[in-house]
Amino acid sequence: MRPGWVRVDCHVHTVASGDSVLGLEELADRARGEGIDVVFVTDHHEISAAVAARGRDLGVRIEVGEEIRTPDGEVLGLFLTERIPYVLPLPQVVARIRAQGGLVGLPHPCDPARAGTGAVADGLCAAGRVDFVEVFNAKVGDAAHNAAAAALAARHDLPATAGSDAHDGPGVGAAYVEMPEFDGPADFLERLAAGRVVGELRPHARRFPSLDTRRDVPHDRDRF
C-alpha cells in the first residue's frame, strides 16, 4: 500500500448492536491482524461503543457510525456525534445525520434478503439524499448483489465504500477501502474517489451464536 494511504472497514458491529458477539478489544486485535487502519463502528441504533472506543488507545483508529432502520430500509450514518432513533421516516433520518455534519450511505442496497433500501435506492440517490453507496458487503447472499450496488453508485456518480459488516471476529477485515488518509467527513468523501475497494464474501456467524462454535475459515479474495 502506498505511503499516506489507509485501509478502512466502513461497516462493523460490536456487542452494543445486540446481535453481535464482537467486543471492542477483539475488534481491535482482528483489525490489526488484517492490516485494517480505520474502522467505522456502525452498531444498530447505538453509538455508545464507538464513542467510548474513540477515547481509547486500541491500536486502530475508530470512527463513529450507526446503522439505522427506517420504513424504507437501512441506511448508514458516518461521523456521528448523536444517536439516531429507530424507525423514523427516512427523510428525518437523513436530516438528522446531516445536521450533525455526518454522511448518509446505503448498506447492502441490492440484497433482497437484507433490509436495504432496494427499489427506492435509485430515487434516494437521484434526490441527493445519499453521500455514498456500499458497493461491497462481505455478507451478501450473492456476489451479484454487490455488482448491482456498484452499478447503482456508478449511475449516480456516488463514491463507493466497502464493509465487512462483521458481527464476530472472523468477519473483521473481509472488505475494506484502500484510500488516502482523511480528516473528517468532507475530506473522507473527497479522498474516497481515489480509493480501491477490496473484498471477499465470508461465511458469518448466525445471530446470537454460541461462542465455542465460531472458527476461522480460509477464503479466496476477490479484488475490485
Per-residue pLDDT reduced to its tens digit, 109-147: 999 988 899 989 999 999 999 999 999 999 998 999 999
pLDDT one-digit tens code per residue, 14-71? 999 999 999 999 999 999 999 999 999 999 999 999 999 998 999 999 999 999 999 9
Q: Confidence class of residue 89 from pLDDT cuts 50, 70 and 90? A: very high
Residues 6+ apart with CB under 8 A from 180: 4, 5, 6, 191, 194, 195
78-94 as b/e, with b when 16 or more CB fall inside 10 Å?
A: bbbeebbeeebebeebb
- pLDDT of residue 108 exceeding 60, the answer is yes
Mean pLDDT of the 99-115 span: 95
- As a whole number, the mean pLDDT across the chain is 90
36 with 138: CB under 8 angstroms? Answer: no
- pLDDT of residue 80 exceeding 60, the answer is yes
User: What number of other Cβ atoms are within 10 A of residue 193's Cβ?
Assistant: 12
**For residue 208, what pLDDT is reported?**
42
- pLDDT of residue 82 exceeding 50, the answer is yes
Give the residue extent of every domain in the chain: 5-203
Question: Which CATH architecture is the domain 5-203 placed in?
Answer: Alpha-Beta Barrel (3.20)
Residues 6+ apart with CB under 8 A from 62: 38, 39, 41, 50, 53, 54, 56
Q: How far apart are CA 103 and CA 130, in angstroms?
A: 8
**For residue 204, what pLDDT is reported?**
65
The upper half-sphere exposure of residue 63, i.e. CA atoms within 13 Å in the direction of its Cβ, equals: 23
pTM over 0.85: yes
170 with 145: CB under 8 angstroms? Answer: no
User: What number of other Cβ atoms are within 10 A of residue 35's Cβ?
Assistant: 12
| CA distance between the termini of the chain | 15
pLDDT one-digit tens code per residue, 179-196? 999 999 999 999 999 999
**For residue 188, what pLDDT is reported?**
98
